Amino acid sequence: MAEPLKNLYSTAYIQKVCVACAREIEQFDAVTFQNQVFDEVWESRELKSRTRHLATVIGRFIPGNYAQKIETLERISRGFSGYPSIFFSDFIEVYGLEEPHISIPALATFTPICSSEFAIRPFLIRYQQLTMEAVLDWAKSDNAHVRRLASEGIRPRLPWGQDVPWIKKNPSEVLPVLELLKNDPSEYVRRSVANNLNDISKSHPSLVIELAQRWKGISTETDKLLKHALRGLLKKGNSDALALFDFVPVQLSIHRFELDRNRLKIGEKLGFNIALRMDSPTQKIRLEYVVHYQKANGSKSPKVFQLTETVLALGEELKTHRHHAFANLSTRIHYPGTHEIHLHINGRSVAQLEFMLEPNN
């Protein structure tokens, strides 16, 4: 079993922080610092709580006013990188919300160490105009980490991030930033733009479709960005999204769509065979299957899985055999009952089968 992420803040890591602090803070008391970090509830703290606790504790040991603390923290941060270092930007969220003119530039300073995407959220809520002016400037930065922050920090549905209601309500206000980054030289940045647009598409699909129609063909890189951005709409069978990538209705003969059995137990794998023949002129094919999972309340929940994208000529056949696992995961618990598996071609359901998932005891 993988070690819990909260253990990234190990004794060795905190000792490394102590060494860096002692280098920059006169008469730094490493013993007291470690005692405050490893307090009586440390073991029960999860990852984000440990990050916040470390950011709070280090603030007690850095002398001076807030501006001086930021200067000292910047020197302390040299030599740090990776996720645990996010406590540097979290320090800004803890201590700097009342001083945005110092804090907002500092977010860009610390983001190359570990992204400031979470720490920026309260500033977007409280100082929308001021923060967005900075974000627009960041989108023009020479540093890819700063440019990525410009996109990632303003995502409507940033995982683990604080909700920013005005972005969710009117995401068109962040589009000027994404426009600046749509053909960014860094895939790291373009990936963030794609994820941002995917977030927007969940509540404002027409806005993303209209933008995608304008961006399509700008470059190979931007087209790849759009394919990732529209992944949610493509899986939902959105006809405009599909047409953008030339996935239009086609005529195919389904020679085989069968399961290797119609009953299996939770934890086992289900095999299935597919054989198709193209009855239309040469056309692009997006082949997916959708599992309609039985839920605890008796309803069903569909999830789409992509099999392949290819081009088939008239009369050409496509055959494939796949397995789907029904093992319980942290992200999905399986329930006994009747399930369905649907075959989708270019976003349209063309066949379906039922099978029974049984308890594994």
pLDDT in tens, 316-330: 999 999 999 999 998
Helix (H, G, I), strand (E, B) or coil at 119: coil
pTM, two decimal places: 0.92
Topology, domain 5-244: 1.25.40
pLDDT above 60 (res 1): no
Helix (H, G, I), strand (E, B) or coil at 341: strand
Residue 148 is encoded by which pair of tokens? 């990525």
- Determine phi and psi for 300, rounding to 5 degrees: -120, 150
Pairing of strands 300-312, 348-358: unpaired
- Determine phi and psi for 183, rounding to 5 degrees: -125, 35
Residue carrying the six token digits 């509540």:
203
- Residue 334's nearest CA partner among 359, 306, 304, 302 is 359
Residue carrying the six token digits 């916040």:
52
Residue carrying the six token digits 């999972």:
293
Q: What digits encode the pLDDT tens for the residues 185-202? A: 999 999 999 999 999 999
Helix (H) or strand (E) holding 32: helix 30-37
Helix (H, G, I), strand (E, B) or coil at 311: strand
277 DSSP 8-state letter: E
How is the chain split into domains, by residue range?
5-244, 252-358
Residue 350 near residue 343, CB atoms below 8 Å: yes
Topology, domain 252-358: Immunoglobulin-like (2.60.40)
Q: How far apart are CA 61 and CA 8, in angstroms?
A: 22
Q: What digits encode the pLDDT tens for the residues 111-145? A: 999 999 999 999 999 999 999 999 999 999 999 99
